[in-house]
Structures are given as structure tokens and as C-alpha cells.
A and B are shown apart, each in its own frame.
Chain A
Amino acid sequence: MSFNMLVTVALAYVVFLFLIAAYAEQRTRRVGGGWLRSPLVYTLSLSVYCTAWTFYGAVGYAARSGLEFITIYLGPTLVFTGWWLLLRKLVRVGRSQRITSIADMISSRYGKSNGLGILVTVLAVVGTTPYIALQLQSVTLSFGVFAEPGGEFWAPADPASTGLWVAAGLAVFTILFGTRNLNSHERHHGVVMAIAVEAVVKLAALLAVGIFVVWGLADGPADILARIDASPIAGWEVEPTRWAGLIFTSAAAILCLPRMFQVMVVENTDEAHLAAASWAFPLYLCLMSLFVVPIAVVGLEQMPPGANPDLFVLTLPLKEHWDGLAVFAFLGGFSSATSMVIVAALALATMVSNHVVMPLYLSTRQESAVMSGDVRNVVLRARRFSIAGVLALGYLYYRFTGGSVALASIGLISFVGVSQVLPALLGGLFWRGGTRAGAAAGLMVGFAVWLYTLFLPSFGSLGPFSTEMLQNGPFGIHWLRPRALFGIEDMDPLIHSVFWSILLNTIAYCGVSLVSFPTPLERLQGAQVVNVFEHTLGARGWSRGSAEAEDLLMMAQRILGATEAQALFQTEAASQGKAGYLPDTTPEFLDLLERELSGSVGSATAHAMVGQIAGSSSVLVEDLIRVADEAQQILEYSNQLESQSEELERTARKLRDANQKLTELSIQKDAFLSQISHELRTPMTSIRAFSEILREGGLTEAESNRYSGIIHDEAIRLTRLLDDLLDLSVLENAQVSLSLGTARLTDLIDRAISASGAVTELRSDGGLDIRRDPPSETLNLVTDSDRLTQVFINLIGNARKYCDAPKPVLTIRVSARDGRAVVDFIDNGSGIPARSQDIIFEKFSRLSDQAAAGGAGLGLAICREIMARLGGSIEYLPGQGGAAFRVTVPLAAAEAPVVSA
């Protein structure tokens, strides 16, 4: 089989891939994907994890280190079987935030920081370039095997030019299918489909070689097992530290590798595909590694010593002159290499163009980037150049280090490099406290340690580190030796690097995050990412750049409240001469809106929100709305706090009032007891004094009569006082039971007048003229008639006792208003001075002692209590020319409408 033939087959295969990709693109455009968007295609596209390193390198790895190659598959298997823990969140965030790459992910999480984006991009480019070189190397190697039939020695005619052609070809393919168009999701159905097909080809090829080895070269599984036992591979022992380190590294890599992020998160069309991939992808990895050990064992056995074990997959069939199988195996390896390079180049190009080229381009142009057509062309061109650049870098790396390092170790170095993103990624997903400064510090520390301990030493003496320096540390500083940092020796160089880089990276990330303060945007983004499941409900229908007046209105409503926002927009629309709520988004209006919003969310956020819409079309409406939601939550929270402190203040005020009241009550109680004592002891004093006088005898008849009369009166006074006190006490304690019934007002007044005439004999002149208007008194009340009569008696009695007019007249005036009977008792005396009008209803508030014999000053206090119980009131009515009291009491229900009408 000629070399030219092989080239023809390879080219034909590439053309086949072109057709597949073109078909997929066309189908997606026409019918929207269909079965192309199945979990199967998603899972197969994930197989981009299995590169030429897997296809060729795993056998070599097994030949060198036994079963250790398995660790590279165990890590991803763990990550995928626990998909709902981590991957689900990662994919949800990626979809909801429209993430375009791992650099975008980190940048977006930490407040859309482009600095972080650049950092991750650099890290990714540095970490991936050796990997791309590795793929070029493997393709070149495999060509070389065919170039020299027999393939036992690696001696291609011109490896450099082969690599160049391969690199150029891959660049063309990637540019054609990766940059055909720009869409908001950075999804590339054609590329994904081609990769899925390649996944099938490489799996089938490896299985075919495996079957050939097991059943063709050996005598079936039993024979193979016996051969494995006999081979040196069986002697390899598991080193727990190295295994744990490698599993960790590969698990980290599948999350952080730019190409894995591309197919896993960016190209994901449906979150549910993850569930299928969680078992299907580990199964794929399992099948890929099934025949690795048999091929390695048989290869070691049958190939001459010194043959490159990395190429056993090709050289074994060739040795047996199974050219067809060899070509198939070649195509499998070719598929592995090309799919990796294509996706990696695509992912890196996206990062480079989005985080490096575009910001530079925009900063060099003063005018705004509103004209989207213009910008889109720039982006596409930037991306194409980036792809070419990435592949050129890979090729250059290959040219400089070509053949010097085994495939597997290049892969691992690359893995550890990109794993430095892990702390910032995981912290960003699960810890709101992670900040931009922390992420930057962690990335830089981890990157530096990786460069120092693994990447640069990997060049050996050809690299910047001299052997002398590797042995004794820089400038002879022993504890800085790249492979024994801080004096930790006897550690596997790779594990040493993983340990120190991830440890210091994590410490730097957490430490700096804790001491640094996040910007508002960082906090918002952090909340969006960490709480992604609370904020998103799966796919959304919004598309990038559709921020219109209506969207602004929606956002404004969430911040300003619906009514206010609508009023604002309506007013603006009206001033523009438009009807409805949607004005044109003129600069003036945007300024106005920004000012309005800044009142609620602060000027910086408002400026960012409105400024983003006004400045470019790259803002996402749901981003704005999410910011608005967050602002709303913050507002609500602060409102809650405010109301809580108001509540506290209210409670404190109530306590103060209650305390004040208690103090007053205590003083009142003392005063009350003192008053009672006085009121009781005063009549007692007279009774005792005169009874002693009477007992001593020797008095005239008139004196005896007079003194016993005084004793009698004072005894009555005492009794009445006690009655009043008990009455008041019962009323005040609300123990009184009212016997409510319908009563006629005029009857009650009649009763009161006759009763008060009987009990108010103290006034010698006696002639109180009571004036009434009986027709007005024909009102029906629902009340306790005895209690109400008691109030009337008291008022009439007061008039009899205290009215100081020469001809005392009491006028009783009745009216009805608002469902109540209003009864005024007005006498023609000198009335009650204004300053005393407030206190007459207090207990013992007798105004003068001149007529003190009448009572203890509890009458009006009792009246007030009674009226309160009856649902009415009693108050002093000033300005009537004499003492005037107004009693109001509810009317019977039937009476009410008639009266009010």
C-alpha cells in the first residue's frame, strides 16, 4: 500500500466529514435539528475527550505503566455519574448566561471581568498548545509508519512538512465549519455531527484492532489473560498517591478543558441529554479502553524491542499485512486527532477573539459598535485568524519539541495546566463569596506554580531550565527546586505539581476572596450563578440584542413598580407624540430612565443597565431583568429591615408608654387611697366626736337633737360614699352585667327627675326648675334603663347641688343624630371653669368643698364608666352659659333610619 494511497484515503475521509458536516448544518437550518439533537449525538461529541492520546497513547501508556492509563477515564466517569451534582449546574449556568467558553464562564461569574477572561484564555492557550502539537505529532507519526512499509521504525521522510499540511488542513476545516456564522449560542451543529461520526469511527477502529489482536494474533480471551499474566505489565503496582492524583486531574480536566467545555456546555442543546450521557459516556470510555491492555501486551511480545508502543495499534496490523485494518486504524487515529484539534481550535479561537481581539479592536475604534453587521464581520475574521493562530502555535510547539516527549506525559502536563481553572470554576458555582480578585489570584498562582514545576521543566535541558537549576534550585536556593518545592522530595513530579499548584491556587482564591470586596455586578453575577436553579426555568425564548422599549418597560416595572414605570413611559410617549406606553428609546429618554432607576438601584447599576442597552446590542434582556430582580430582592430585604426596625421602635414606644402609664397608675393609686382615707375618715371624725359628746351627757335637748342629727347625716354620707366606691369598682372592672332592653327616653327622664327629687334634699331652697320638651323625647333606646337613669339622676342632682343661680333652671334638650340620641343637661349657673372641664370626670374631683357634704366626687366618674359600658358617651359641653353635660346613647335600630332620614 503506497503512501499516496493513504493520503488519498485520508483526503476522501475528510471529504466525507465535510459532507456530513454540511448535511448537518443544512438540516439544522431547514428542520431545526431533529435527531441531530439527540442524546446519542451529544454523548458521541463528548468523545472528543478521547484524542490521539487515547487512541495511540493509551496502548503506549499501558505498555509503560500498566493499568495506570485507566485513571484518565475514571476521573471523567466519576464526574459524569455524579452529573446532577455539578454538570447539571454547569450546563444550566452556561445556558442561562449564554456562556461561549470556559473563559467567558469565569469572566461572567466574576462580574463580567475581561481581565479574568484574558487570564483564562492565556492559560487555555498555553495549556492546549502542547496538546494540539501532540495531535499533529500523532498524525505525522502515523503517516510515517505507512511511509516506511513495515513500520517498525519511525522515520518519516519529512515529518515537519507533513505536520504543516495536517495543521493547515485542519485549520481550513475548522474555519469552514466553525466560523460559517455567528449565533448567540456559539453552537456548531455541523462540527458536532462530524465529531460524532469520528467518534464512531475511532471506537470501531480500536475495537477492530482489539478483536484482531485477541482472536487473530492470540487465541481468544483466555490466551490473552495468560499472556497478560506473563508480560511485564502484570508486574506494575498501583501507586495510590499517583492514582488519586491522576483521577483528580482527569476529573478536573474534563470540566476545565476548553474543548470539553465547548461540547459539554456550549454545544449542549438540551439539559436532559446530560442524564443519558451520564451512563453512555462512561460506557464509551469503557469500550475505548477495553482492548488497550491486550494490544499492549501482544505488541510488547511480538514487536521488536525499541518499537514505539504508542504505535502498536498501527504497527501490529501492518506487521501481519492486514493493510485494510491498518488503514482503518489509521483513520481512527486520524479521527481522534482531528476532532480534538478542530474543537480545541474552535474553543480557543472563540476565547481569543472574544476576550483579546474584540476588546482590542473596540478600544481602537472611537465610534460605537452599534452597527452589528460591521462588528459581526470583524468577529468572524478575528475568529478565523485565531483558529489559524492556534494551529500555528501548535505546529510551532511540535516543531520545537517534536518527538522529544511521550504522548501521555504531554497530555498530563496539559491536563494539570487547564485544571488551574477548577478552584475558580467550582468556587464560582457554589460559593457566593468568591470574588474577581480571588479568582485572579488563584489562577495566577496556580498557573505560575504549574509553569514552574511542570511545564517548563518538561522541556528538559532544551528548555529554559538548566539541569543544574533542576538539581539545585534557582541560584542554589534548595527549597525552590522545581520538582521538590519547599523541600518535599521523592514525590512523583506530576503529582508534586498537581499538589502544589492546586493547593496554592485554592488557598490564594479563598484567601483573596475573603479579604477582597466584590463589586455590585460581581455580587449580582455570583448570585445568578450560584442560585441558577432559582432564577432559571430552563430554556428561554429571548434572543440577544432585542432590548426594545417594551423590554425596558418590563425592567423598569420591576424596579420602579408597575404604576410608576407605566406613568413614566406613557408620559414620555405622549411627549414624543405617541399613544400608548412605548416611547422611542431616544438618548433623552434613556437619560431620564437612568435617573429614575438610579433612585432605586443606585446610579452605577442604573448606568450600567441603561448604558448597556444604549451602547451596544450585546446586552441580554434577561440579564437586565435578572439584575432588576436582584435589585428588587435587595430592596425588599432592606424594606423588611426597615419595617423591622420600625416595628422595634413601635414596640419600644409602646413599652415606654406602658411604663409611663404604670408609673402614673401607681401615683394615681396612692392618690386614690389617700383620697379614700380622707373621705372615709372625715365623716368618721364627726361621728366619733359627737357620739363621745353625747355619751358624756349634760347637753340641752336642742344640742342633743342637733348632734345626733349630724351623726345621722354623716353616717348616710359614709354609706353613700361606700356605695359609690363599690359601684365604680364594679364598673371599672367591667364586672357589671347590663340588662339591655328597649326603653323610651322620656320615661327614663321622668324617673330620674322624681328619684333625684327624693334624694336631693340637701339644698334648702329646693326649687330647681326643670324645663323639657316632651315631644322631642319620644325616642326609643336600646340600653340598660336603670343605669342610664342613674346617670340622669346624677346630672340632675349635680344641678340641684351646684347650680348657683338665684333661680336655678335646668334645661333638658333632646335630639337625634347619626343613630344616637343626644341629651343635653344645661343649667343657668356659673358653669365650670375651662381649666377644670377636663378633670371633672376624674375620681374625687370635687371642685369646691363648700357643698362637699353632698358627695365624694365620684358621681361623674361613675357616669363616664356607665356611658362607656352602654356604648354612648358623656362630655362637658362648653359655651352654654351654665354647666352643661351632653349624654349620647344609641337609638333602637328601628328608630335609626327614620331619624337619620
Chain B
Amino acid sequence: MGKRVLLVEDEPNIIEAIRFILARDGWTVETHSDGATAMDILTASPPDVLVLDVMLPGKSGFDILRDLRAHPATGSLPVLMLTAKGQGRDRELAERYGATRFMTKPFANAEVLETVNSLHVGAPGTV
């Protein structure tokens, strides 16, 4: 099984764009749109990399990040946080809660791909 990324995002068009970018590079892209149930998916089968939006229906990306860092199965999962709010405060929060990387929408496709790849390479236990 190849490299697997989970994208938690609620905008259909953005999901489609990211899926296209990562899939083209050989990633298996799984998506989830509901913040409230994201943790269940994560803990059931943790992906290699998590791309996490902040503004989500049901539960905010920050809350999910805090929970998954506290959970043994996902405590060291590489996480790329995406936010459309673009305020300094959001970056601070992301760092405090333990995001591995942080990006502001809109993003360059190449940058997203590069970041996700680097997260996968840098992750412990990968080949």
C-alpha cells in the first residue's frame, strides 16, 4: 500500500483540487468533510499525513488537532493545517496545538505537494 493522506476539508471544490494534485503524485487521497466525526476516522486507520482545514462544520480544525495529539494512535502524526482566515493568531494557535506545518489559502499547488511529501519523508518509521 502506497502513501496515504487524509484530507479533512468541507469545500467541495478545494477537496477536488487537492485530491487531483496529490493523486497525480501517487498519493492515496481519502477525504472527510465533517469535523465532528474526523477523530473517529483518524483513530480507526491513521493516515501517513493529515491535511486539516480549520473552518469545519461540527468541530474546528484546532480542536481536532488538540485531540489527535492527545491520542496515542495519532500523537506523532504529521499534520499540515490549512486556513482561509490568514491571521497571525491562527498560526500561533496551530503551533501551540502541535501542527507540523501551516499554510494559508490560497496556496500554490506545488507547495502543497512539496510540503505533504516532506512530511511523509520526515515522518519516523517510513521507508
**A: which residues have CB within 8 A of B?**
674, 677-678, 681-690, 692-693, 710, 714, 848-849, 852-853
Q: How far is the CB of A712 from chain B (nearest CB, A)?
A: 11
Q: What chain B residues lie within 8 Å of A693 (beta carbons)?
A: 17, 20-21, 109
Asked if B93 is at the interface of the complex by the 8 Å CB criterion, the answer is: no
**Given A674-B85, A677-B87, do A684 and B105 touch, yes or no (CB 8 Å)?**
yes
Asked if B42 is at the interface of the complex by the 8 Å CB criterion, the answer is: no
Closest to A714 in B: B13
Asked if residues A689 and B86 are in contact (CB atoms below 8 Å), the reply is no
Asked if B11 is at the interface of the complex by the 8 Å CB criterion, the answer is: yes
Asked if residues B11 and A685 are in contact (CB atoms below 8 Å), the reply is yes
Asked if residues B105 and A685 are in contact (CB atoms below 8 Å), the reply is yes
Closest to A848 in B: B57
**Given A693-B21, A693-B109, do A686 and B84 touch, yes or no (CB 8 Å)?**
no
Asked if residues B84 and A710 are in contact (CB atoms below 8 Å), the reply is no
Q: How far is the CB of A483 from chain B (nearest CB, A)?
A: 95
25 of the cross-chain contacts (CB-CB < 8 Å) are A674-B87, A677-B84, A677-B85, A677-B86, A677-B87, A678-B84, A681-B85, A681-B104, A682-B11, A682-B84, A685-B11, A685-B105, A686-B13, A686-B14, A686-B17, A688-B106, A688-B108, A689-B14, A689-B17, A689-B18, A693-B17, A693-B20, A693-B21, A848-B57, A849-B57
**Given A686-B13, A689-B14, do A681 and B20 touch, yes or no (CB 8 Å)?**
no
Asked if residues A685 and B106 are in contact (CB atoms below 8 Å), the reply is yes
**A853–B20 CA distance with the chains assembled, in angstroms:** 20
11 new A-B contacts, CB < 8 A, other than A689-B18, A689-B109, are: A677-B85, A677-B86, A677-B87, A678-B55, A681-B104, A681-B105, A684-B106, A689-B17, A690-B13, A692-B109, A848-B57
Q: How far is the CB of B57 from chain A (nearest CB, A)?
A: 5
Asked if residues A685 and B109 are in contact (CB atoms below 8 Å), the reply is no
Q: How far is the CB of B22 from chain A (nearest CB, A)?
A: 11
Q: What chain A residues lie within 8 Å of B16 (beta carbons)?
A: 710
Q: What chain B residues lie within 8 Å of A688 (beta carbons)?
A: 106-108
Closest to B104 in A: A681
**A848–B58 CA distance with the chains assembled, in angstroms:** 10
Q: Which of B55, B57, B106 contacts A687 (CB 8 A)?
A: B106
Asked if residues A681 and B86 are in contact (CB atoms below 8 Å), the reply is yes
**Given A677-B84, A682-B84, A689-B18, do A849 and B10 touch, yes or no (CB 8 Å)?**
yes
**A620–B86 CA distance with the chains assembled, in angstroms:** 86
**A838–B84 CA distance with the chains assembled, in angstroms:** 27
Q: What chain B residues lie within 8 Å of A678 (beta carbons)?
A: 55, 84-85
Q: What chain A residues lie within 8 Å of B105 (beta carbons)?
A: 681-682, 684-685
**A714–B13 CA distance with the chains assembled, in angstroms:** 9
Of the four ranges (under 10, 10 to 19, 20 to 34, 35 or more), the interface on chain B belongs to: 20 to 34
Contact with A along B102-118 (1 / 0, CB 8 A): 00111111100000000
Q: How far is the CB of A449 from chain B (nearest CB, A)?
A: 86
Q: What chain B residues lie within 8 Å of A685 (beta carbons)?
A: 11, 14, 17, 84, 105-107
Q: What chain A residues lie within 8 Å of B57 (beta carbons)?
A: 848-849
Interface centre among A674, A684, A685, A692 (most CB of B within 10 A): A685
**A849–B13 CA distance with the chains assembled, in angstroms:** 13
Q: What chain A residues lie within 8 Å of B86 (beta carbons)?
A: 677, 681
Residues of chain B from 8 to 63 with CB closer than 8 A to chain A in the complex: 10-14, 16-18, 20-21, 55, 57
Q: What chain A residues lie within 8 Å of B109 (beta carbons)?
A: 689, 692-693
> Which 4 residue pairs across A and B have the least CB separation, nearest first?
A689-B17, A686-B13, A681-B84, A685-B106
Residues of chain B from 55 to 96 with CB closer than 8 A to chain A in the complex: 55, 57, 84-87
Asked if residues A686 and B11 are in contact (CB atoms below 8 Å), the reply is yes
**A683–B17 CA distance with the chains assembled, in angstroms:** 12
Q: What chain B residues lie within 8 Å of A849 (beta carbons)?
A: 10, 57
**A686–B10 CA distance with the chains assembled, in angstroms:** 12
Closest to B90 in A: A674
**A267–B84 CA distance with the chains assembled, in angstroms:** 100
**A863–B12 CA distance with the chains assembled, in angstroms:** 28
**A853–B85 CA distance with the chains assembled, in angstroms:** 18
Q: What chain B residues lie within 8 Å of A681 (beta carbons)?
A: 84-86, 104-106
Q: How far is the CB of B110 from chain A (nearest CB, A)?
A: 8
Q: What chain B residues lie within 8 Å of A674 (beta carbons)?
A: 85, 87
**A543–B14 CA distance with the chains assembled, in angstroms:** 102
Closest to B34 in A: A849
Q: How far is the CB of B6 from chain A (nearest CB, A)?
A: 18
Q: How far is the CB of B108 from chain A (nearest CB, A)?
A: 7
Q: How far is the CB of B106 from chain A (nearest CB, A)?
A: 4
Q: What chain A residues lie within 8 Å of B106 (beta carbons)?
A: 681, 684-685, 687-689
Interface centre among B12, B17, B109 (most CB of A within 10 A): B17
**A861–B83 CA distance with the chains assembled, in angstroms:** 25
Q: What chain A residues lie within 8 Å of B55 (beta carbons)?
A: 678
Closest to A710 in B: B13
**A302–B68 CA distance with the chains assembled, in angstroms:** 138
Q: What chain A residues lie within 8 Å of B20 (beta carbons)?
A: 693
**A710–B12 CA distance with the chains assembled, in angstroms:** 10
Closest to A713 in B: B13
Q: How far is the CB of A725 from chain B (nearest CB, A)?
A: 16
**A367–B54 CA distance with the chains assembled, in angstroms:** 97
**A677–B57 CA distance with the chains assembled, in angstroms:** 17
**A693–B14 CA distance with the chains assembled, in angstroms:** 12
Q: How far is the CB of B9 from chain A (nearest CB, A)?
A: 10
Interface centre among A682, A684, A690, A853 (most CB of B within 10 A): A682
Q: What chain A residues lie within 8 Å of B84 (beta carbons)?
A: 677-678, 681-682, 685
Closest to A693 in B: B20
Q: How far is the CB of A870 from chain B (nearest CB, A)?
A: 34
Q: What chain A residues lie within 8 Å of B110 (beta carbons)?
A: 692
Closest to B18 in A: A689
Asked if residues B85 and A690 are in contact (CB atoms below 8 Å), the reply is no
Q: What chain B residues lie within 8 Å of A852 (beta carbons)?
A: 10-11
Closest to B105 in A: A685
Closest to B109 in A: A692
Asked if residues A689 and B107 are in contact (CB atoms below 8 Å), the reply is yes
Q: How far is the CB of A541 from chain B (nearest CB, A)?
A: 84
Q: How far is the CB of B11 from chain A (nearest CB, A)?
A: 6
Q: What chain A residues lie within 8 Å of B14 (beta carbons)?
A: 682, 685-686, 689
**A551–B109 CA distance with the chains assembled, in angstroms:** 100
**A401–B11 CA distance with the chains assembled, in angstroms:** 125
Q: What chain B residues lie within 8 Å of A710 (beta carbons)?
A: 13, 16
